[in-house]
Amino acid sequence: MTKVSVHQQRNTISRMASSKSVTSFGFLLVLIHILTPTAANVHPVLTHKNASSLLGQLVTSSTLVWESYDQKDATQLSFAVEGGKYITEDEHYPIYVCRVTIDGVHTSGHTEKILQAHKCVAAHYKHGKYDNFDVLMNKGHLGKVGWKHWRKFDAGVPVGAIRIGDDSFIGRHRATHQQSSEGIATHWGADFNLGRLDPLGLGKIMVIESDREKYYDEGEVLIETEPFRYELRDIKLDRLRTDMRQNLTELATGKLENLGGKYSTVETVMTYSFDYIQYWGSHEGVARGLPTKIFEKDIIIPAEINWALKTSEKRFENKAVHTKLWPGTAINVTLRGTYVTLEAPYTAKLFAFYYGSEDSVSRKISADARDRSLAQSQFLIYVYLTGSQKLLEGSKAGVQPCLLD
């Protein structure tokens, strides 16, 4: 029998322990991967916008995103953009705009339901049905998305057209109707073939029909119209989760003095400044920076902010203070106010307004609000008499209470 040194035994034991550790660690990683929920990948959407100095430019949409399809998320497609309907004798359901990557190129298509899952039918000569794809999502339904009729004589790409890949945009063409045995025009399957608008030359719309590429001089292009302003109404704060902090702050100092020869009223105007800050949060599918009016309860003039951006400004105000003094007397006056900082979750209705339309689109949102301002009804006046500070509650030492105007 071969003798094994103590050093060799230790090396063997060390390798065995290391092997078990690696196996256990690998198992742990697999277990974590299984138990940890995976979030869908999100990609920006680019839309076409005309510019005076350019033939056209691309801008990032504030309300639309491409999101990877998640079969386990039963609610995901409730935000998906419809591309048409799928019709059979037994079924009638919406199809959604999707895209897949084929040979490194983004290719549009439409979804088709197979059993309890969806697949993306690509507008490509390979005409495959793909399990892994992105769906065009209108998060919050505040993006105004619609199909616009297009023909090659319409001079280029429509404003708001949604880009697929390098130089193409989402388009569609109505599927050809089939003649039934009774002579009635019917169609089974998708009522529209989704493809792309190729702007080269006068442009053309390409779709797949009967497993072949087909080009048309007219069709429809998917466009997005973004709102130009918002309004926030029906605001309800969550009182149970509201955090309110108050801080008494010195705002200004002044002097009241009677230089006359008789007992009379003297007054002064005190000027002060304070920081006013408000923030109404952000929300998925709502464009950042858009002008927004805030209609709060019991406030006549609505505040105007830019959505999802903190509003901060220095405000200046004046307060007149007066009291009665005996001749040859004076008092120092300090004006103090209460700063109120409020943080609270809220629910409200957000209304979106669009150019060329008197109608608005609204949805209920939830967000967090932050507000820091001066409590206008909580001003205090202090006077200083012979080095002692007293709140004027009545006539003392021949001095009447100070009053605010």
Can you give the CATH number for the domain in which 273 is found?
2.170.15.10
Question: Can you give the pLDDT at residue 296?
Answer: 92
208 token code pair: 């797949």
State the pLDDT confidence band at 9, using cuts at 50, 70 and 90.
very low
Final residue before a domain boundary, out of 188, 205, 225: 225
Give yes or no: residues 164 and 82 share one domain: yes
**Number of Cα atoms under 13 Å in the Cβ half of residue 124:** 20
Tell whether 27 is covered by a domain.
Answer: no
Give yes or no: residues 247 and 211 share one domain: no
How far is CA 108 from each of CA 66, 143, 222, 236, 295, rounded to the nearest angstrom?
Answer: 12, 20, 12, 42, 42
Tell whether 375 is covered by a domain.
Answer: yes
Tell whether 196 is covered by a domain.
Answer: yes
Tell whether 99 is covered by a domain.
Answer: yes
Give yes or no: residues 315 and 399 share one domain: yes
Give yes or no: residues 213 and 238 share one domain: no
Give yes or no: residues 219 and 243 share one domain: no
Tell whether 339 is covered by a domain.
Answer: yes
On whether the CB atoms of residues 42 and 69 are closer than 8 A, the answer is: no
Final residue before a domain boundary, out of 157, 190, 225: 225
Give yes or no: residues 195 and 303 share one domain: no
Final residue before a domain boundary, out of 208, 225, 242: 225
Helices (H) and strands (E) in the chain, counts: 1, 27
What is the strand order of the sheet 218-225 is part of? 144-151, 218-225, 169-174, 192-198, 204-209, 212-216
Give yes or no: residues 118 and 255 share one domain: no
Total domains in the chain come to 2
Tell whether 9 is covered by a domain.
Answer: no
Quick: pLDDT tens for 201-218: 888 999 988 888 899 999
Q: Which amino acid is at 147?
A: W
Point out the least confidently predicted range of 68-82, 188-202, 279-293, 380-394: 380-394
Give yes or no: residues 80 and 169 share one domain: yes
Check residues 39 and 251 and name the one with the higher pLDDT.
251
On whether the CB atoms of residues 193 and 208 are closer than 8 A, the answer is: yes
State the pLDDT confidence band at 59, using cuts at 50, 70 and 90.
confident
| 3-class DSSP state of 143 | coil
Give yes or no: residues 236 and 220 share one domain: no
Give yes or no: residues 74 and 121 share one domain: yes
Give the separation between CA 186 and CA 179, rounded to whole angstroms. Answer: 6
Give yes or no: residues 218 and 319 share one domain: no
Tell whether 5 is covered by a domain.
Answer: no
Residue closest to 94 by CA, chosen among 112, 72, 107: 112
Give the separation between CA 380 and CA 334, rounded to whole angstroms. Answer: 8
Residue 107 has pLDDT above 80, yes or no: yes
On whether the CB atoms of residues 351 and 361 are closer than 8 A, the answer is: yes
For the entire predicted model, the pTM comes to: 0.67
How far is CA 97 from each of CA 133, 148, 184, 194, 285, rounded to the nearest angstrom?
Answer: 10, 15, 29, 8, 18
Tell whether 11 is covered by a domain.
Answer: no
Give yes or no: residues 202 and 287 share one domain: no
Quick: pLDDT tens for 22-51: 344 444 433 334 344 445 688 878 887 654
| 3-class DSSP state of 309 | coil
State the pLDDT confidence band at 367, using cuts at 50, 70 and 90.
very high
Question: Can you give the pLDDT at residue 232?
Answer: 95
Name the residue range of residue 72's domain.
42-225
Residue at token pair 């256990």: 24
